[in-house]
Chain A
C-alpha cells in the first residue's frame, strides 16, 4: 500500500495547475462555510450571553408562572420554601449567585397621561442581575433604597423624566386590592431596545413586595460559573426539589427564551442551506476535474492491472488521491476562513437590528470548533467527487485501457 499511496500523492501534483484549481474551489467553499458558521456562532454566543445575563443560567418557579397559566399570584414561592431551595442550591459549587424575581404590571401616571409598565424586581448589590451596570444617567439602586426605580432611556425621553423625578404607579395587590406607589427615578438605563427601554422598570424587590402586599417571590434566578453546566445542574436541582415535595420546576436559559430557539433554528437552517449549496458546487466541479485527471491515466491503470494490481488496490490509489485533495483543500479553506474572519473582525463593522437603538458589532468567531464542520464538508464533498471516477478507473477493462493513447 505504501507505494500506491506514494503514487497517489505524486499524481496529485503531476498537473500542478489542475490541482491548484481543485484546491482553490474546495478552499473557497470551505472558507465560505467557515465564515457563515463563524458568524452564526458569534451571533448565537452574543445572544446567549444577553439571555443568560437577563434570565440567569436557570430559573426555579412554579410551572404556572413558566407556562403563563396563573390567574393571579398563585405561583408565588414563600420564605420557608425559598430557604429550602437556597439550602439545596448551596450544595452545588457551580452556583455563583441566586437572585429572587418578582414581576408586576402597573399603570403609571405621568401628569394627565398614563402608560402600562412592566416592573422587574431587583435586589441591589447582588452580583448577578444587578442592572446598575446598564445605568447611563443618574445612579444605580442601593440596598437601602425604597421607592426608587431605574427607567429606560426611551421612557425617559418619551415622558421627559430625569433622575429625581417622581411618578405614580397603580396596581393590584396579590389579594386583589387596589394600591398606589410613588417611584422616584434613581437612574436611566440603556438596553439598546426601544421596546424594553419604553416598558421596563427595575424596582428593589422589598418595595415590590410591599406594593403587592406579599412576602413571596415569583422565581429564583440562578447564575452558574459555566453556561455548559446549565442543563445538568438544573436537572439535578429539579429532581431534588420534587423529591422534597415542592411543585417547582427548573428551566434553563434556552428553555426560557423562545426567541433564542427561533433564532438558533433560523441560523442553523441558513448554515445548512449554504453548506449544502457549497458542497454540491464543490462536488460537481471537483468531479469534473478528477474525472478528466483519472481518464488521462486510463492506460496507466491498464498497465498496473496487467502487472497484477487488484481492482480494490486501484480504487484505493485513486480514492486516496481524492481524500488527500480534500484534506489539503479543507485545511487551506479553514486557514483562509480564519484569515477572512480576522480581517473582518478588524474592520469593526456594525449594524442596527430592527428595534435596536445603537449598532451592534458583526463578528465572526474563529475557532477550531467552528473550523471542524466546514473542513469536514470540504473533505466529504471532495471524497464523494472522487468516488465515481475511482470506481470507474478500478473497473476498467485491461485490454481496452492498454489500447488507450
Chain B
C-alpha cells in the first residue's frame, strides 16, 4: 500500500466556531492506482489533498506513506517526504517565474542533490514525455496554460515519487487542453507505475480513473471502481 489515512480529521477555528473540514476519513491507495476524488466546493477535498501531500497537518488521525506515519515528523523531515515521495500539481500551475521550463522541472532534483548529468538526462526524458522539448528554455510567461501544466506534471514526476497528487489540474484549462493533460497523466501513470490521486469537480476526469471517490461534508461517501 502506498498511502493510507486513518480517522483523518481536520478542524479549523473560524472565530468562535469550529469548522469540521474532514471528519475521520479512512482511505487507502495502492501502487499504480489512479484515484479521482470528486466533491462539491467546500466538501473538504482540497483539505484532504493538503493532508495527503504533507503540506498541512491533521487535527487528529494519521497519514501513512509506504507505511510510515508522517504526521508527527519534524518540518525538515516532512519537507524530505514531500521532495522524495510526492509529486504535486496545482490548479494555477505554480511554476517559478524566473526559471526556464528546463529549470522548473530540474528544481526538485536540485533539492535532492542529484548530480548534473543525471538531472539533465531525466529532465530531457520528461520534456519528451510531455512533448515540450522545444520549450525547454522558455520562461513560464512564454508558455500557454496547457504547456505550463505539462511542465508542472513533469516537475511532479522528476524525483520518481510514489505518489502524484493533483488539485484541479484542469481547472484553468479549456476542454481540449484538459483532455490532453489527462491523457498525458494517464500515460505517465501507466508508464511510471506511480499512484495518481486527482482532486476535481470536473466529472469528465472520472473517465481516466481506476477508482472514483466522493467526498461530502468532510466524509468519504461512496466509491466507484472502474
Contacts and interface: CB of A to CB of B under 8 A. Distances in A.
Report whether chain A binds chain B: yes
Interface of A: 2-4, 6-7, 10-11, 14, 299-300, 302-311, 313, 398-399, 402
B47 to A, nearest CB: 9
A307 B75 contact: no
A307 B98 contact: no
Contacts of A304: 96, 107
A377 B79 CA distance: 36
Interface string B74-92: 0110011111101010100
A307 B111 contact: yes
Contact of B94 (A6, A11, A310, A402): A402
Contact of B55 (A3, A7, A311, A402): A402
B76 A310 contact: yes
Given A3-B103, A308-B111, A300 B88 contact: no
A307 B110 contact: no
Contacts of A11: 98
B53 interface: yes
Contact of A3 (B56, B83, B86, B107): B107
Contacts of A303: 90, 94, 96
Given A307-B88, A308-B81, A308-B159, 15 more contacts: A3-B110, A6-B99, A7-B99, A14-B98, A302-B94, A303-B90, A305-B55, A306-B94, A307-B82, A308-B79, A308-B84, A308-B111, A309-B111, A310-B75, A313-B111
4 closest pairs, A vs B, by CB? A308-B83, A10-B98, A303-B94, A398-B55
B4 interface: no
A311 B103 CA distance: 21
B155 interface: yes
Contacts of B94: 299-300, 302-303, 306, 402
Q: Is the interface of B mostly helix, strand, loop or mixed?
A: helix
B82 A306 contact: yes
Contacts of A4: 110
A218 B108 CA distance: 80
A299 to B, nearest CB: 7
Interface residues of B, number: 29
Contact of A311 (B75, B86, B97): B75
A303 B107 CA distance: 11
19 contacts: A3-B103, A3-B107, A7-B96, A10-B99, A302-B94, A303-B90, A303-B94, A303-B96, A305-B55, A306-B53, A307-B107, A308-B111, A308-B112, A310-B75, A311-B76, A313-B111, A399-B55, A399-B56, A402-B94
Interface string B47-83: 0001001011000000000000000000110011111
Contacts of B98: 7, 10-11, 14
Contacts of B50: 399
Interface of B: 50, 53, 55-56, 75-76, 79-84, 86, 88, 90, 94, 96-99, 103, 106-108, 110-112, 155, 159
A310 B90 CA distance: 19
Contacts of A2: 110
A308 B106 CA distance: 13
A305 B80 CA distance: 10
Contacts of B82: 306-308
Contacts of B99: 3, 6-7, 10
B54 to A, nearest CB: 9
B108 A307 contact: yes
Contacts of B112: 308
Nearest to B57: A399
A307 B83 contact: yes
Contact of A300 (B56, B97, B159): B97
Given A7-B96, A11-B98, A303-B90, A310 B79 contact: yes
A300 B107 CA distance: 13
A6 B104 CA distance: 12
A398 B90 CA distance: 13
Contacts of A309: 79, 83, 111
A55 B90 CA distance: 78
B155 A307 contact: yes
Given A3-B103, A3-B107, A305 B79 contact: yes
Contacts of B110: 2-4
Contacts of A402: 55, 90, 94
A5 to B, nearest CB: 11
A311 B111 CA distance: 12
A11 B80 CA distance: 25
By CB atoms of chain A within 10 A, which of B53, B55, B106, B155 has the most? B55
Nearest to B161: A308
Contacts of A306: 53, 55, 82, 88, 94
Nearest to B80: A308
Contacts of A311: 75-76, 79
A404 to B, nearest CB: 11
A308 B96 contact: no
Task: Kindly name the residue among B80, B90, B107 whose own CB sees the greatest number of chain A CB atoms within 10 A.
Answer: B107
